[in-house]
């Protein structure tokens, strides 16, 4: 009889031998998903025996993880900013660092006025949905060039009951003109900022499983910052605000790009590792 405790011990050892980072956490997340419970509840059910079908599915999950498939794709879900999101490998996995971008925007809006927001490269919709959920007076346009990503984003907007306030549009901002009008108070983007050189050296979880077009611009990592900073001028209201997430070592160059495009009062927000993570400024 294989109990929850036995399964966790054996799977943790197995994942550790295979070089998987945080093996216990990975083991718990996958088993909790199979048992349809929270990770904490596993500790209250250590003596519960696993059914044969649960054991078989757990073995399949473990094999996928040892092939370096991200645990979030295996379970098909992830928590972001206190909300649950459905994901698959057509979208980037939402990261905790991006919560800082969402938090920064929330702290910079007047919640008594209607706020129009444009989210460029929405992916799973995690930014748009989180903003809609936490800024009740917001109306959001969310764009992405991937039909598959937009399908997931729409599911997540309905899942979190904000679908009536988000308009999803398929568009490639590098190829098409942004004809959205100049009525946005805020434009936000977590763009593909990994350079092509760095992309080749990423861990397999990233460059093998996550969508490359959501990670890299296949150039120097700054193409989207330049394009969005230029085009946002036609879509922002006067004194409207532009918010970006930053990659490591990019703050100085992105600051220059924004200044060259007439953004002022530029500010940088650091993450919990003291890295420059968010940059934002106002249109002159």
In a domain, 82, yes or no: no
State the average pLDDT over residues 218-247: 94
What pLDDT does 79 receive? 95
- What pLDDT score does 110 carry? 78
* pLDDT given at position 278: 98
Residues 173 and 269 in one domain: yes
pLDDT for 239 equals: 86
Q: How many domains does the chain have?
A: 2
CATH number at residue 179: 3.40.50.150
Contact of 62 with 30, CB cutoff 8 Å: yes
**Mean pLDDT for the stretch of residues 126-148:** 97
Angle (CA) 191-195-199 rounded to 5° is 105
> pLDDT above 90 covers what percent of the chain?
87
List pLDDT tens digits, range 270-279.
Answer: 999 999 999 9
Cα→Cα distances 282→21, 103, 193, 256, 272, Å: 40, 17, 21, 14, 25
- Each residue of 213-228: pLDDT tens digit? 999 988 999 999 999 9
Asked if residue 216 and residue 126 are part of one domain, the reply reads yes
Residue whose token pair is 């919709």: 125
Among 51, 67, 83, residue at a domain's last position: 67
183-198 pLDDT, tens digit per residue, is 899 999 999 999 989 9
Task: Quick: pLDDT tens for 194-213.
Answer: 998 998 889 998 889 999 99
What domain range includes position 177? 92-283
pLDDT value of residue 251: 97
Query: What's the pLDDT score for residue 178?
Result: 66
Say yes or no: 61 and 147 in one domain.
no
51 in a structural domain = yes
Question: How far is the C-alpha of 243 from the C-alpha of 122, rounded, in Å?
Answer: 14
| Distance separating alpha carbons of residues 162 and 152, to the nearest angstrom | 14
**Pair 45, 105 in one domain:** no
Mean pLDDT, rounded, for 72-89: 97
Do both 114 and 59 map to the same domain? no
What per-residue confidence (pLDDT) applies to 179?
65
């Amino acid at each position: 009889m294989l109990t929850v405790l036995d399964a966790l011990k054996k799977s943790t050892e197995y994942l550790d031998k295979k070089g998987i980072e945080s093996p216990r956490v990975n083991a718990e997340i996958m088993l909790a998903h199979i048992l349809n419970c929270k990770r904490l509840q596993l500790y209250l059910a250590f003596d519960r025996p696993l059914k044969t079908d649960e054991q078989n599915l757990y073995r399949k999950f473990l094999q996928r993880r040892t092939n370096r498939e991200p645990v979030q794709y295996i379970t098909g879900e992830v928590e972001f900013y206190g909300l649950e999101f459905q994901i698959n490998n057509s979208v980037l996995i939402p990261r905790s660092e991006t919560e800082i971008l969402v938090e920064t925007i929330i702290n910079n809006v007047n919640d008594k006025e209607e706020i129009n927001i444009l989210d460029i490269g929405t992916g799973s919709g995690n930014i748009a949905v989180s903003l809609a959920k936490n800024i009740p007076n917001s109306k959001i346009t969310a764009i992405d060039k991937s039909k598959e990503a937009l399908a997931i984003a729409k599911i997540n907007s309905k899942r979190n009951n904000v679908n009536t306030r988000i308009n999803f549009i398929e568009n490639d901002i590098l190829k098409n003109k942004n004809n959205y009008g100049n009525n946005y108070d805020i434009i936000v983007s977590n763009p593909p900022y990994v350079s092509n050189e760095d992309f080749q050296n990423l861990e397999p979880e990233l460059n093998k499983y996550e969508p490359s077009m959501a990670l890299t611009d296949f150039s120097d990592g700054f193409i989207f910052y330049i394009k969005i900073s230029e085009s946002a001028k036609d879509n922002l209201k006067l004194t409207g605000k532009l918010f970006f997430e930053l990659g490591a070592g990019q703050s100085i160059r992105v600051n220059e790009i924004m200044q060259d495009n007439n953004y002022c009062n530029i500010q940088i927000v650091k993450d919990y590792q003291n890295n420059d993570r968010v940059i934002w400024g106002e249109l002159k």
